[in-house]
Amino acid sequence: MNKTESFDFLEELWKIISERSEKSSPKDSYVAYLLSQGPEDCAKKLGEESIETVIASLKDEKKEIVHESADLLFHLLVLWKAKGISPNVVMDELKSRKNISGFEEKQNR
């Protein structure tokens, strides 16, 4: 999968999450189930996936890091959906930081 296809897939995944949030039952869809639990539980699940990604990284198991990173990214998208945040808004924020040092950006918060 090339870079463009990867970003296209993230857009496709966002569309799938959006569709399932609107049209699926929590009994039939993991996305609908997570969203039915509320933003707080979505955030807790993201936290679990974050910790699992860190642990995999400390063990330096690349296959496990990839697996946990995919889980982390998926659950981040679900949390954004739960909070009504579009990935485009996050991408715009990243773009606005393009020519700013990370140190400078942190100081400006």
Give Cα separations from 78 to 1, 63, 96 (angstroms). Answer: 23, 23, 24
42 domain residue, yes or no: yes
- The CATH code of the domain that includes 42 is 1.10.287.1080
Asked if residue 106 is part of any domain, the answer here is: no
The parent domain of residue 37 ranges over: 3-98
pLDDT at 59: 94
- Enumerate residues 6+ apart whose C-beta is below 8 A from 69: 53
Q: pTM to 2 decimals?
A: 0.86
In-domain check, residue 89: yes
Domain count, the chain: 1
Q: What is the pLDDT along the chain (109 residues), one digit of tens a residue?
A: 776 777 788 899 999 999 999 999 999 999 999 999 999 999 999 999 999 999 999 998 899 999 999 999 999 999 999 999 999 999 999 898 887 776 766 667 6
Rounded CA-CA distance 73/79 in Å is: 10
Q: Is residue 57 part of a domain?
A: yes
> Domain for residue 108, yes or no?
no
Is 109 contained in some domain? no
Tell me if 71 is assigned to some domain: yes
51: in domain? yes
